[in-house]
C-alpha cells in the first residue's frame, strides 16, 4: 500500500496556480486509474484504488501548503504506513517548467510544504516527485510567482510534466524508486 499526496492550496482562487501542480498531478493520476477522491475530512480529501496492481490512497490535503504535514501525519498514523511508502508530489522553483525529478529522502530544499511534512512525520525518508515551475522572471517575488497561474507558453510544458509525473508514480509503484530515478531523471536531463 502506498499513500500518494499531492500538495497545494485549497480553494478555487489557487486552483490553477504554480503552487498547485501537486494537486494537478494527483488528479491526473486519479483520473488515469479510476480513483475517485470521494472521501473527506477536515484535513484532506482522498480516494482509494489501485495503481500498478497495488493498493493506493490518493490524498489532497485541505490545509494550506505550509501545513500539509498535518494531513500526512494523520494518514500515516491512521493507516499504519511507513514513510518509505509515502510519495509526495510538489512544485519546484529550481527545475525548469516541464521537468520532473524523483528522489527519496533529503531535506526540504526550502519548500515549506515539505518542511511541514518532515516536521510532522519526523522523517525525511519518503519519496518525492518534484515538478518544475521555474524561477520568477526579473525581480518578481517568489511568493507571488508560485501563487500565479502558468503562462500560455508554459501551459504545454506543464501539461507534459503532469503526464510524466503521473507515469513516474506508476513506475515507482511497479518497479521501485531506484529504477524510476534511473528511468525518469536521466530522460528528463536529456530533454526527452
Distance, in Å, from the CA atom of 49 to the CA atom of 81, rounded to the nearest integer, reads: 16
Cell numbers that stand for 156 in this block:
504545454
Torsion from C-alpha of 44, 45, 51, 56, nearest 10 degrees: 50
* Closest by CA position to 171, among listed 114, 118, 129, 112: 129
**From 19, 33, 85, 111, the catalytic residue:** 19
Instruction: Clarify whether 33 is annotated catalytic.
Output: no
Helical (H) or strand (E) element with 163: helix 152-175
Active-site annotation, residues: 19
Amino acid at each position: 500500500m502506498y499513500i500518494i499526496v499531492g500538495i497545494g492550496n485549497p480553494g478555487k482562487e489557487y486552483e490553477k496556480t504554480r503552487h498547485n501542480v501537486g494537486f494537478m498531478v494527483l488528479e491526473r493520476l486519479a483520473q488515469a486509474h479510476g480513483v475517485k477522491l470521494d472521501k473527506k475530512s477536515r484535513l484532506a480529501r482522498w480516494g482509494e484504488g489501485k495503481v500498478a496492481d497495488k493498493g493506493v490512497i490518493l490524498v489532497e490535503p485541505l490545509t494550506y501548503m505550509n501545513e500539509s504535514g498535518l494531513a500526512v501525519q494523520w494518514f500515516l498514523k491512521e493507516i499504519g504506513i511507513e514513510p518509505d511508502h509515502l510519495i509526495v508530489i510538489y512544485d519546484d522553483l529550481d527545475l525548469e517548467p516541464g521537468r520532473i525529478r524523483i528522489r527519496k529522502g533529503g531535506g526540504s530544499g526550502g519548500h515549506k510544504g515539505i518542511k511541514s511534512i518532515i516536521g510532522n512525520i519526523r522523517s525525511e525518508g519518503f519519496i518525492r516527485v518534484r515538478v518544475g515551475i521555474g524561477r520568477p522572471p526579473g525581480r518578481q517575488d517568489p511568493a507571488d510567482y508560485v501563487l500565479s497561474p502558468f503562462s500560455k507558453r508554459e501551459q504545454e510544458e506543464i501539461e507534459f510534466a503532469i503526464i510524466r509525473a503521473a507515469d513516474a508514480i506508476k513506475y515507482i509503484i511497479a518497479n521501485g524508486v531506484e529504477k524510476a530515478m534511473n528511468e525518469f531523471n536521466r530522460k528528463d536531463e536529456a530533454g526527452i
